[in-house]
A and B are shown apart, each in its own frame.
Chain A
Amino acid sequence: MTSNLLKNAIIVKPHGVRKVAAILSNAVRNHWNYQYKPGPYPKTPEERVAAAKKYGLTIEEYQPYPEDMGYGDYPKLPDIGADSKDPHYPYDCPELKRNFNEPVHASAEIFGEDRYDPNLRPRFSLAHQWTWFLGVVGGSFALYFYLEDFKIGRPVACKQYPGNGPHYLFTPK
């Protein structure tokens, strides 16, 4: 694939060889492309408009992360897990429940259907869960401490070894 790209670059666009080589070296050798990096944090309203346009959002929808988080101008999208999205909507990419050119959430890897959904309605309430947890663990401990006084073993004295003292049979000499 790399050789194909190089051939294309040299034959079709000889003037772009340097650019392609730079991108390839970046992507292959550094495993990263400078174009993946978001722009600087938008400070003026004009910059905000430009950033919103860049990510395909309206200016009302666009909201960057706080500057000290280091996400630059990347938009802060609502935290919606893939499980909470409508399963019957005809998405362009039904596997990811995502449309073409739809901006990707900064933490998209955790909001997949196989991972986490922050809007998930739990099957049991937290009080219910705590009640059962403390009931089971506390009940086990209560049983343990109550039965501590009722230890039962087999009715045998300790094992007799020739080393520890003389032992006797129950028959006369």
Chain B
Amino acid sequence: MSFQSNEKSLTTSDIKRPDIKTADAPLGRNDLARLVAADIAPGSFVNLGIGQPTLVSNYLTEEQDITLHTENGMLGMGPEAHGEDIDGDLINAGKIPVTELPGASYFHHADSFAMMRGGHLDICVLGAFQVSATGDLANWHTGAPGAIPAVGGAMDLATGARDVFVMMTLLTREGASKIVETCTYPLTGVGCVTRVYTDKAVFFTGPQGVTVRETFGCTLEELQDLVPVPLTAAVGP
């Protein structure tokens, strides 16, 4: 494994591709999870958020040797526990009973978030309400009047992990793009998202704006009609 700086590790080599790939149809949740899993570098330390991101664990291979982190104090988390394996003292951040893998470790909450904030976690995968063109993330609070706010570890994950991957459908039920110029929902973190995996395309976000790595069931032009920020193909110069 190479030694990397604390900076977000997206480099131009990541986005230099001869042509963007285009698949025939939009990706389902499981296919999207498989794609995210395949993009995680071997040996990475990874935190998978609650909900759709959890599906990614189903597609990680033994050869990848990924270590999963759960913010309630564990590295080396195994699959969800069933039947006699359920132990109330062994749960994940979603409070679901899980298992431990050989080589697992436990630590207290301050250490768990220190390793995240300290840049030791390579990737976290999160869901989102909205992602802005410059990688701002909104995923914790709708801001609706009367809604009880609950942030949990969302802000810490968004700010702490070296790379923040978002998994979401591109459009809301009403058909609005969740990739936006500026988030209208309350922010979780500023400029933290590096990639967005959606059913219709994979995007890179950051100071350079939004580039598209590949599309599913649409062309770049058709995608541009759906997304209100300028899109360019993530190809080399």
A binds B: no
A residues adjacent to B (C-beta < 8 A): none
